Amino acid sequence: MRGCALDLREGPVSSEAQAMMRTIIHVDMDAFYASIEQRDNPSLAGRPVIVGGVGGERGVVSAASYEARRYGVHSAMPLKKAKELCPDGIFVPVNMEKYRAASSQLRSILASYTPRVEPISLDEAFLDVTASLRLRGDAERIGREIKERILAELGLTASVGIATNKFLAKMASDHDKPDGFVVIPPGDEADFLWPLPVGQIHGVGKVTSRRMQEHGIATIGQLAELSRKDVKRLFGKQGERLHELSHGIDTSEVVAESEAKSISHETTFEVDVDDTDELRRTLASLSDRVGVRLRQEGLVARTVGIKVRLADFTTMQRERSLPEPVSEDNTIFSVAWSLFQEIPLAGQKVRLLGVVATGLDQPSGQMHLFAGPGNRARQTMTAVDNIKRKFGDSAIGRASQTRPPNACKKRRMRKSTGKEQAADE
């Protein structure tokens, strides 16, 4: 059975509908970090490479080559577990500077085809090439040219998916990795989607997939056979989205990098933490970093959120929309700490903390000439920012962030990262 991207049950796509459709390309690098290490060290070619540190040490896998994945190793897995699964694996420390340089090259290639590029992480991006087709040729030609340039200029392979929306393009790029190239022509969405297992729908985890199996839903086609009402009854709020995706419907836009709406920083502790004072100091430091970046980019945030990962790798996120947009460190920290206190720790220690600002915008209105305390606070923050810019982040900070004597001997942090340092998928 064939249909269109808007509703797969309504027959072939008309020429008018095709003319209104978007053309989306999803580019996903293959085992990005690990492939870069294999590229730069030929002796690693064809061997199980695990990026994330020395095997057996504390931490998680940032990336695994396809040779290592055959042993069950995957991103975010504890390094100790990876060593158990793949005892002959070659463990390589993360080199973010090198990965960012390759990512910058990748983005330059993608941006040469369209300004509508939405990076998802260092190694993955969506392109809306609808307006580029007349100049560059059809989407398949563009996609193959992108793959060829990535191989020639970066020495790496990428998987490419092409479809009429982001969901389908992502499904296509995942379908034949590594080094895949899959096009879903308008009208063929059902033929592609419906035979696939429901677990391949992005966002469907093990729990939801298991519930579907209990209801006799094994394929996306079987899910599509259910009415919208039935899917909502079975899966609640998620049901509406699942119903649309099972019919190939996704109206989300490609958001160009310049339009990205979040700034974040996070820290993974080398030793899990349950000390309230240290957790508070860490959130304060992360809030300051987010505030500095907001002010550097001349932005304010309407929403502040946190990310908390516990010792058992349970990860929770909370956010709060604010009545007025902010960029002040103290306000960001106040909201972050309030959100953290709502997290059910259940006696567990904390492994990771993060602070994120979203809903970014340019500040509106003019500052008053005699703005009183608020203006003095902004002047103080500007002075602090200048000191940090000149002498480094540790040159000045809050008194509340000062550790008690010898505290530094008790705890150490492994790393502090911005959102751009996403784990390789």
Q: Which residues are catalytic?
A: 124
E strand segments, 4-56: 24-29, 49-51
Given a contact cutoff of 8 angstroms between Cβ atoms, the answer to whether 172 and 163 are in contact is yes
What is the phi/psi pair of residue 344, to 5°? -80, 95
Rg, C-alpha atoms of the chain: 24
Pairing of strands 158-163, 124-128: unpaired
Query: How many residues would you count in the chain?
Result: 425
Per DSSP, the residues of 58-109 read SSB-SEE-HHHHTTT--TT-BHHHHHHH-TT-EEE---HHHHHHHHHHHHHH
Parallel, antiparallel, or unpaired: how do β-strands 315-326 and 181-183 relate? unpaired
Residue type present at position 319: E
Strand partners, 354: 266, 307
CB neighbour burial string for 115-138, b if at least 16 within 10 angstroms, e if fewer: ebbbbebbbbbbbbbbebeeeeee
Q: Residue 402 phi/psi, 5° resolution?
A: -70, 130
Half-sphere exposure of 393 (CA within 13 A, CB side): 11
How buried is residue 256: exposed, middle or buried, by Cβ count under 10 Å (0-12/13-18/19+)? middle
Backbone angles phi, psi at 117, to 5 degrees: -120, 125
- For residue 296, which phi and psi values (nearest 5 degrees)? -60, -35
